Structure 1
Amino acid sequence: MPSDAPLYLDYAASAPLCDAAREAELDYESSRIAGANPNSLHSLGREAARALDGARRDLARCLGGGFRPMDVTFTSGGTESNNLALLGMAEAARERDRRRTRVLVSAIEHDSVLDVLPPLRGRGFEVGLVSPDRHGVVTPEAVGELLGPDVALVSVMCANNETGVVQPVAAIARRAHAAGALMHTDAVQAFARIPLELGDVDAVSLAAHKIGGPVGVGALALRSRCPLRPQSFGGGQEQGRRAGTQDVRGALAFAAAARSCSDGLSERRRLVASRAQGLYDRLCAPGTGIEASVSPQMDEGRLPGMVSLLVPGVDSETLVLSLDEAGFEVSAGSACSSGSLDPSHVLSAMRIPRELALCSLRVSFDERVGEDDLSRFADALLALVCKKAGA
């Protein structure tokens, strides 16, 4: 990369395409099945279907938790996966048991979950929001307080997309099942970044572009025993769960990225977490004026490579644009909410004061960003804060 090229530090929004995914795409384009419809009965169609099933096997293996290849439904990304899970699982659960008319989600979910709540209400469901504690954790006890025999579905993400805080999904799933409810988790940020405990989870949302795969492909892993009402129609693909011709090229690149990220996961996690800790230590040192939105001590309760900051006195838009001008690409919380003048709903739910929440900054990266790069970024941010303080 040229020395004057911008330093991209917004991997949580979308990670650059990794070598494994790029190679998988090139291999597909030069293969005989390029462009073949995997639902066709002729030989090329059957060959494309076998390639698609191979990608399904790889994703199930990387996901773990007892998920099988046939459980993996390919989608257009995390947003579609979350939409399909919430609407499809809630409606199917109610069809199976008419008492199940309530859905519980955490207050720190991604917008692709929270924005489904009005349509759920429009379909006759009541919705309960579970608040996190001050550290950004949605506790099983908090979920348990709202559970009852009328709950159809509980949805709590594996790890938050703004703070990186890992949620106790396995314990929450056990609480949900004890009350007879289904359990879904959005693992878009966590998949292939940390080991996942999914043995008690019914459905998991994934997206390729968060781990270095292509934009426009994702998956919903749904156990065969789990009911689901389809939300799209017209072809019966993906075992009738999601209509539409599958993107074989995207699925193969997704699987390649997942394999690449899963290999050596523990070592990679330690490396990236160490670099994130170094960034926290420098930026949040006494006298800088910069704060961490959650505990700055990296541990297994946090995603590696995600640094969530509060810069009192400098609003998020100014921070992002000034750093962009200096050659550093970061975001203010979730990239999906860019342009909003409201504070982050995640930080608000954590009871961080509005004036601080409006000064948030998210820095995210993987092992491809080195310590020297992060040091240059820290220099730029500290210089910016010093300049604003003296203005």
Structure 2
Amino acid sequence: MTRPTYLDYAASAPAREESLDAERAYEASEIAGANPNSLHTLGRAAARALDGARADIARCAGGHFRPSDVIFTSGGTESNNLAILGLAEGARARDSRRRSVVLSQIEHDSVLDLAPVLRDRGFEVRLAAAGPDGVVRPEGLEGLVDGSCALVSVMAANNETGACQPVGALARIAHAAGALFHTDAVQAFGHLALDLAEVDAASVAAHKLGGPVGVGALLVRGRAAMRPLTFGGGQERGMRAGTQDVRGALAFAAATRAACAALPEAAAEVSRRADRLVRTLCAPGSGIVETTALPYDGSSRLPGIVSVMVPGLDSETLVLELDQAGFEVSAASACSSGSLDASHVLLAMGVPRESALGSLRVSFDERVAERDLERLAEALLDIVRDHACDRRRGRR
């Protein structure tokens, strides 16, 4: 059986060899299994290794984060939960007037699903809109942020459309009102040179760039007041109780080093391949349209996310037929692909529901050959043409 061509890197990227090597090296080392919180020799050695991983992740994130700002978590979802609930509670504890939180309408479910939780805790939740291109504009945020705002959270780049957000400008608006600013950088980290100098906290995850599943981090500046969500130990600055996964952290750091060392050359090449794929798929008369017309120019859009729609067809049909043809892609976000409804991101952009129901996301990095993308384009175009012919025959 021919191995399928995997093109769902935005859901979870294949492990990088550097990450696997780091795991193997850890297992063969004397610190394998040692608790980094123990005072004995091996415990201290494990703690030093863990701190080295923090330094690598802080360095690759940019934004002048310190190694001590890195809190290891189980992944992007936990990082987002800790950031939003912890920072909102911390800001309110410091200033009782801070009782509102601003989220954007295009956030990942791990952020938007916190809205009812925040309301239950006494916060007002305000939602910032995105434009038709999927970008949250600073002028649209200004009217939502005032002296009651505890926290603003807008992602660095959208996990469905790849649209990059102006986080620096958005953070300045939050800070002007005395609010904290968090960005979900899970999808962007390791794929794009990030500008995080003005953010207070950023969420990242290992498996989006070729590290292990189940490891992430929240980078949060020491000056930001934050409340923990878990209790029972003083690990991770007292913000995340539980013995740390040293093996996972080292593998995460190795994947991070490999991905960031490849920038910007890899980003430029992947952007070129994505642009060519979009132009092939969305040629006039193909029946396929882009979800956003943002260019692959190195700053407007993530290099390796191609987001298209096939009006008149549903995502499930397209994903399954591409699967049969040997290509693994997803319908919008893999985290919500079990839903039969249209993507909340596309609906927030003003895309008609009938069109949004036919959305597809193709995602990859520099490890995917251009010929594989050409074959994917041929297969998808054939599928769309076949369905168009079936519809024409059905009308006769």
* 1:135 pairs with 2:124: no
Hey, what does 1:251 align to over in structure 2?
249
Provide the C-alpha distance between the structure 2 equivalents of 1:345 and 1:312, rounded to a whole number of angstroms. 17
Deviation, 1:325, is: 1.1
Fraction of identical pairs, as percent: 65
Provide the C-alpha distance between the structure 1 equivalents of 2:23 and 2:338, rounded to a whole number of angstroms. 33
Provide the C-alpha distance between the structure 1 equivalents of 2:325 and 2:262, rounded to a whole number of angstroms. 34
Deviation, 1:26, is: 0.6
Provide the C-alpha distance between the structure 2 equivalents of 1:324 and 1:345, rounded to a whole number of angstroms. 24
Deviation, 1:29, is: 0.7
Provide the C-alpha distance between the structure 2 equivalents of 1:294 and 1:52, rounded to a whole number of angstroms. 40
Hey, what does 2:122 align to over in structure 1?
124
- Matched residue of 1:128: which SS? strand
Provide the C-alpha distance between the structure 1 equivalents of 2:385 and 2:304, rounded to a whole number of angstroms. 25
2:165 to 159, 167, 184: 167
Provide the C-alpha distance between the structure 2 equivalents of 1:192 and 1:266, rounded to a whole number of angstroms. 10
Contact 1:312/1:359 (CA < 8 Å) preserved in 2? yes
TM-score (norm 2): 0.97
Contact 1:277/1:296 (CA < 8 Å) preserved in 2? no
Hey, what does 1:324 align to over in structure 2?
323
Provide the C-alpha distance between the structure 1 equivalents of 2:106 and 2:132, rounded to a whole number of angstroms. 12
**Any idea what the Cα deviations from partners look like across 1:112-152, whole Å, max 9, x if unmatched?**
00011111100000000001011100011111111110000
Hey, what does 2:358 align to over in structure 1?
359
Deviation, 1:314, is: 1.1
Provide the C-alpha distance between the structure 2 equivalents of 1:32 and 1:245, rounded to a whole number of angstroms. 18
Hey, what does 2:383 align to over in structure 1?
384
Hey, what does 2:203 align to over in structure 1?
205
Deviation, 1:297, is: 3.4
Q: Mark the runs of 5 or more structure 1 residues left unpaired by the alignment.
A: none
Hey, what does 1:303 align to over in structure 2?
302
Provide the C-alpha distance between the structure 2 equivalents of 1:264 and 1:14, rounded to a whole number of angstroms. 19
Provide the C-alpha distance between the structure 1 equivalents of 2:262 and 2:41, rounded to a whole number of angstroms. 37
Contact 1:280/1:296 (CA < 8 Å) preserved in 2? no
Provide the C-alpha distance between the structure 1 equivalents of 2:331 and 2:138, rounded to a whole number of angstroms. 29
- Matched residue of 2:226: which SS? coil
Contact 2:133/2:294 (CA < 8 Å) preserved in 1? no
Hey, what does 1:40 align to over in structure 2?
38
* 1:368 pairs with 2:383: no
Deviation, 1:287, is: 1.2
Provide the C-alpha distance between the structure 1 equivalents of 2:355 and 2:304, rounded to a whole number of angstroms. 22
Deviation, 1:296, is: 6.0
1:228 to 210, 226, 229: 226
Hey, what does 2:272 align to over in structure 1?
274
**Any idea what the Cα deviations from partners look like across 1:80-135, whole Å, max 9, x if unmatched?**
00000000000010010000000000000000000111111000000000010111
Contact 1:104/1:129 (CA < 8 Å) preserved in 2? yes
Provide the C-alpha distance between the structure 2 equivalents of 1:338 and 1:146, rounded to a whole number of angstroms. 31
**Any idea what the Cα deviations from partners look like across 1:196-239, whole Å, max 9, x if unmatched?**
11111000000000000000000000000000000000011001
Provide the C-alpha distance between the structure 2 equivalents of 1:305 and 1:202, rounded to a whole number of angstroms. 27
Give the aligned length: 389
Contact 1:6/1:328 (CA < 8 Å) preserved in 2? yes
Contact 1:161/1:334 (CA < 8 Å) preserved in 2? yes
Change (3 A) 1:296 1:145: closer
Contact 2:99/2:124 (CA < 8 Å) preserved in 1? yes
Provide the C-alpha distance between the structure 1 equivalents of 2:76 and 2:101, rounded to a whole number of angstroms. 19
Deviation, 1:159, is: 0.1
Hey, what does 1:5 align to over in structure 2?
3
- Matched residue of 2:186: which SS? coil
2:149 to 126, 148, 151: 151
**Any idea what the Cα deviations from partners look like across 1:300-328, whole Å, max 9, x if unmatched?**
20000100001111100000111111111
Deviation, 1:192, is: 1.2
- Matched residue of 2:202: which SS? strand
Hey, what does 1:343 align to over in structure 2?
342
Provide the C-alpha distance between the structure 2 equivalents of 1:290 and 1:101, rounded to a whole number of angstroms. 44
Provide the C-alpha distance between the structure 2 equivalents of 1:330 and 1:199, rounded to a whole number of angstroms. 34
Provide the C-alpha distance between the structure 1 equivalents of 2:17 and 2:277, rounded to a whole number of angstroms. 26
Provide the C-alpha distance between the structure 2 equivalents of 1:275 and 1:86, rounded to a whole number of angstroms. 35
- Matched residue of 1:205: which SS? strand
Q: How does 1:177-216 map to 2 (within 5 A)?
A: 177-216=175-214
**Residue identity in the other structure for 1:81:** S
1:83 to 69, 81, 84: 81
Provide the C-alpha distance between the structure 1 equivalents of 2:290 and 2:263, rounded to a whole number of angstroms. 26
**Any idea what the Cα deviations from partners look like across 1:135-194, whole Å, max 9, x if unmatched?**
100011111111110000000000000000000000000010000000000000011111
Deviation, 1:264, is: 3.0
Contact 2:206/2:255 (CA < 8 Å) preserved in 1? yes
Provide the C-alpha distance between the structure 1 equivalents of 2:77 and 2:313, rounded to a whole number of angstroms. 31
Question: Root-mean-square deviation (CA), in Å?
Answer: 0.8
Contact 2:306/2:363 (CA < 8 Å) preserved in 1? yes
- Matched residue of 1:250: which SS? helix
Contact 2:294/2:301 (CA < 8 Å) preserved in 1? no
Contact 2:295/2:301 (CA < 8 Å) preserved in 1? no
TM-score (norm 1): 0.99
